[in-house]
Copies of this chain bind each other. A is one copy, B any other.
Amino acid sequence: MPVKAIEWINGKVRILDQTKLPTEVVYVDIDNPGDLGEAIRSLRVRGAPAIGIAGAFGIVLGIQNFQGNDVPGFLHEVDRVARELMKTRPTAVNLFWALERMKRVARQQSHLGVEGLKNRLLREAQTVLEEDREVCHRIGKHGARLLQDNSAVLTHCNAGALATGGFGTALGVVYAAVEEGKRIRVYVDETRPLLQGARLTTWELMQAGIDVTLISDNAAAFVLKQGRIDAIIVGADRIARNGDVANKIGTYNLAVLAEKHGIPFYVAAPLSSFDFSIQSGDQIPIEERAPEEITEGFGQRIAPPGVQVYSPAFDVTPHQLVRAIITEEGIIEPPFEENIAKLEKQLIHTQNSDDDLWEVTR
Query: Closest residue to A305 on the B side, CB-wise?
Result: B22
Which residues A101-160 have CB closer than 8 A to chain B?
A: none
List the B side residues contacting A221 at CB < 8 Å.
250, 252-253, 256, 315
Complex Cα distance, B206 from A192, in Å, reads 23
Give the distance in Å from the alpha carbon of A211 to the alpha carbon of B306 in the complex.
12
If A217-B217, A299-B299, A299-B300 touch, does A212 touch B252 (CB 8 Å cutoff)? no
Q: Does A65 contact B (CB under 8 A)?
A: no
A307 at interface, CB cutoff 8 A: yes
Distance in angstroms from A246 CB to nearest chain B CB is 11
Contacts of A315 in B (CB 8 A): 219, 221-222, 225
**A222 vs chain B, min Cβ distance (A):** 4
Number of copies of this protein chain within its complex:
2
Query: Interface size bucket, A side?
Result: 35 or more
Q: A192-B190, A298-B298 are in contact. Are A219 and B303 (CB under 8 A)?
A: no
Q: Is A23 part of the contact surface with B, judged by Cβ < 8 Å?
A: yes
**A310-B213 in contact given A299-B299, A302-B298, A304-B202 (Cβ < 8 Å):** yes
**Chain A 188-199 against B: per-residue CB contact (8 Å), 1 yes, 0 no?**
011111010011
Query: Is the CB–CB distance between A257 and B249 below 8 Å?
Result: no
Residues on the B chain within 8 Å of A187, using CB? 310
* A27 CB within 8 Å of chain B: no
Please determine whether B22 and A216 come into contact, CB atoms closer than 8 angstroms: no
Closest to A211 in B: B308
A222 contact set on B, CB distance < 8 A: 249, 252-253, 312, 315-316
How far, in whole Å, are A17 and B297 apart by their CA atoms in the complex? 22
Contact A310 B223 (CB under 8 A): yes
Would you list 6 pairs from A and B whose C-beta atoms are within 8 A, ordered by A residue?
Answer: A22-B303, A22-B304, A213-B308, A216-B217, A225-B252, A253-B253
A residues near B (Cβ < 8 Å) are 22-23, 187, 189-193, 195, 198-199, 202-203, 206, 211-223, 225, 248-250, 252-253, 256-257, 259-260, 291, 294-295, 297-304, 306-312, 315-316
Question: What would 15 more interface pairs be, CB under 8 Å, given A214-B310, A216-B249?
Answer: A190-B192, A190-B302, A191-B218, A192-B218, A198-B302, A199-B302, A203-B304, A215-B310, A215-B311, A216-B311, A221-B250, A221-B252, A222-B312, A223-B310, A298-B298
